[in-house]
Amino acid sequence: MEWSYRSAEELSAALRAGALSSMELTEEAIARIERDDKAINAICVPDFDRARDAARRADEALARGEDRPLLGIPVTVKESYNIAGLPTTWGMPRFENYVPTEDAVQVARVRAAGAVVLGKTNVPLMLKDWQSFNEIYGTTGNPWDLGRTPGGSSGGSAAALAAGFGALSLGSDLAGSLRVPAHFCGVYAHKPSFGLVAARGMVPPPAPALPSEGDLAVVGPMARTARDLALLLDVMAGPDPLTLGVAFDVALPPARHQRLGDFRVLVLEEHPLLPTGAAVRAAVNRVAEALAADGARVERHSPLLPDPTEAATLYAQLMVSNVAASFPAERYEQLRAAAAALGADDHSRDAAWLRGAVFSHREWIEANNRREQHRHGWRQLFTEFDAVVCPITPTPAFPHDHNPDAREQRIDIDGVAYPYGDQMIWPGVATMPGLPATAIPAGRSPEGLPVGVQLIGPMFEDRTPLRLAELLEQKIGGFEEPRR
């Protein structure tokens, strides 16, 4: 029997029952990677010898009757996480030989839970693309169509899951880096509430792995089922033991409902700044129809929704101010001069980005205060609704485009070209206010490509969108093996 596409939950039950060993499971995963990954290129840093050692120890623990959450389960880890003894490059050639000596806190947690780490998955340069390619490790293809992107920046992780290379993976998300790859590859991912999951050790080289949390970005789980997402989130969730963890334990509230028909859902199909392609609209409507058919309350509009145009601008400003803070001084001064030259009446999106890049501390505080107003608006909305269903990006996976000038890149939405960077609009709906969002498979495009949607829930009520994802999986189906 082949186990590669079984869920982590099924594998755990089989391991506990003695139906197979972790060593058998690990060897099957390694054989599959060695056979299939030459074409896909998802696993950029294999760690097979240590994986075999971990599997051997897991089998010994199982024989002693131990029962840890991920005991004996093969997993993969995004390249951007520090793993002691393996390179962490973030795709930057100058750090090709940078090797940390300590595991990231989340790698340590999955190891403590008994997981078998198969290796690291590919990423774009500095994690700044919805494609996964770099000069060190090359290009990762989408298992559904190798000529298309698997997404980014957790594209290697999504491709690995779709290809059957391990049951779970660790990723991260700032501009959809968990959700976009899940959408493009037909798997599941969960962007946790901001601050729920400690990120120490998910840091670009050669920065030290300090217990500091940057703005907007989170780390989170990827899987092939909704229940597996919840399983891995339970392992990952919790504050850093060096800081808030000294005093606090995590205690997520239960999901608001257990039945699909009890959910109150706001469905958003269009954004005022960007059209939604037909294939994605069809997926959103498929989910909406499934909810309505089971008796859920489904609405298409609400006056409680915080202004999406203002939210998109605020998201861009907060994100670019965070990114630009690490730019070299010379580059930062160039941006400052360009921003100073803008006309006072220039309220274009490009101008907003440029001004955001060089925010003063006062300006950032003002922007953060506006974010808090949006968060309050979302709290009010979630008194009337339990979740929001909306797109992740406007299209399914697009063909590889490695143009080094992002300003020249375009995304094709039903035959019309739009700026490549506009794809960040839908991920930002959840990212800017720090809300949890679960990406789920929701159908196929006319070309047979996966199409996903995101389920956005109330802040720190992550179990609500995860439960909704599980119920929808039962209703409309979920992951399918790629067909090329």
Cite the active site residues.
78, 153, 177
Element spanning 404, H or E:
none
Determine the Cα–Cα distance for residues 377 and 311; give it in Å rounded to an integer: 11
Residue 353's nearest CA partner among 397, 308, 321 is: 321
Residue 297's nearest CA partner among 269, 268, 270, 261 is: 261
Residue 390's nearest CA partner among 276, 467, 233 is: 276
283 alpha-carbon distance from chain centroid: 19
Element spanning 63, H or E:
helix 48-63
* Residue 19: how many other CB atoms lie within 10 Å: 13
Residue 152's nearest CA partner among 136, 134, 168, 166 is: 134
Are the C-beta atoms of residues 87 and 96 closer than 8 Å to each other?
yes
Amino acid at 472: L
Determine the Cα–Cα distance for residues 76 and 72; give it in Å rounded to an integer: 13
Instruction: Go through 236-272 and write b for each residue having 16 or more CB atoms within 10 A of its CB, e for each that does not.
Output: bbbbbeeebeeeeeeebeebbbeebeebbbbbbbebe
The CA-to-CA distance between both ends of the chain, in Å, stands at 23
Are the C-beta atoms of residues 153 and 161 closer than 8 Å to each other?
no
Q: Which residues contact 77 (CB under 8 A, 6 or more apart)?
A: 83, 107, 110, 117, 119, 120, 121, 157, 169, 170
DSSP bridge partners of 238: 197
The number of C-alpha atoms within 13 Å of 226 and in the hemisphere containing its C-beta is 25
Cα-Cα-Cα-Cα dihedral of 153, 166, 472, 301, to 10°?
-10
Judged by phi (left if over 0) then psi (alpha if -120 to 50, else beta), residue 138 lies in: left
Q: DSSP secondary-structure letter at 138?
A: E
Helices (H) and strands (E) in the chain, counts: 14, 15
Q: Which residues contact 407 (CB under 8 A, 6 or more apart)?
A: none
DSSP bridge partners of 271: 274
